Amino acid sequence: MRKTSPWQIWKLNFELLMSVMHEVEPRVREHGLEMKEFFLLGELDEHPNPADLARAMLTPKPTVTFMVKRMEAAGYLRREMQPDDLRRFRLTLTPSGRKAMEASREILDEAFGERLARLTQAQRTELIRALERMAEG
């Protein structure tokens, strides 16, 4: 087994993810989404507050605000005042937003699935275990 530094592993992982995103980006755009917008829509159910969404996405609040306005104009999400705090908004996916997000997720699943198919089932199982362990806080 070759010795690999944490940086090399990080870089290899990043290159894999960027390669898949580059591959799927044109097809995701056909659904009216940029990649960051696709990820934003994918986080909405768990993070319906814009500030929480920005933290979850590690994205500056003004950038999230810009994307939210664009997705609202496209009819992909709704911004509603929270009855318990009129200074805060709650974001929800519209049916067309959910459809675009799920169609884009299928595109990503297919492309990443092709990469995963290069591994045996045992290797995939071990990869999941390793990633879960590394993701522990």
**81 by DSSP, 3-state: which?**
strand
Cα 101-68-18 angle, rounded to 5 deg: 55
Q: What is the CATH number of domain 6-135?
A: 1.10.10.10
pLDDT reported for residue 86: 67
At 1, the pLDDT band (50, 70, 90 cuts) reads low
Q: Is pLDDT at 82 greater than 80 in this prediction?
A: no
CB 110 within 8 A of CB 28: no
Which tokens hold the place of 132? 């879960």
Q: What pTM does this model have?
A: 0.86
C-alpha dihedral (106, 111, 113, 118), degrees to nearest 10:
170
More confident residue, 86 or 68: 68
Give all strands (DSSP E) within the chain, no chain letters.
77-82, 85-93
Provide mean pLDDT across the span 48-58: 94
| Cα within 13 Å of Cα(57), Cβ side | 27
